[in-house]
Amino acid sequence: MCYQILTEGNDFGYALCHRIIILAMANIGQGCAILSDTEDEALKHNLCKMAYAEATYIAFHDYTLADLVFEIICVCALEGKAQFLRRTWLLNLLSFQSDDGCFGYFDVENKICNSHTIALASGAYSAAIRFIVEEFY
């Protein structure tokens, strides 16, 4: 099933990100490849390339899917793709943070933060900090 999702899955949105996550989990979590080491790396590269185009499109349309941009940054930047750490994206995405620190609410009335979006935002900004520390210190 993983093989079919990877080779025949959707090339946009959350499904695209989940294809990248499957490859990363196989490599990081199990130390294995689904296709082969070379094919997995090539596929990750191509999927992140498509994800970059999608994130750019979303950015040009006022970040209407900010959580998807956070997810794209997370999965591809943590795979070593520094081009996803665009200063303009990270600064504009900060505008979605509420005064109490939430990046979206699960329950607006009771002000319960959306933990998934917060995790994605944390991952994206952590990737940026990691890049800065590794490159400049």
Going residue by residue through the chain, which has 137 residues, state the pLDDT in tens, using 9 for 90 and above: 667 888 888 899 999 999 999 999 998 888 899 999 999 999 999 999 999 999 999 999 999 999 999 999 999 999 999 999 999 999 999 999 999 899 988 787 888 899 999 999 999 999 999 999 999 99
pTM (2 decimals)? 0.91
What DSSP line would sit under 34-89, residue for residue? SS-HHHHHHHHHHHHHHHHHHHHHHHHTTTTTHHHHHHHHHHHHTTT-GGG--HHH
Cβ atoms < 10 Å from Cβ of 34: 18
Q: What pLDDT is recorded for position 1?
A: 66
Question: Rounded to whole angstroms, what are the CA distances from 131 to 40, 81, 84, 127?
Answer: 23, 10, 11, 6
Domain boundaries, the chain: 1-136
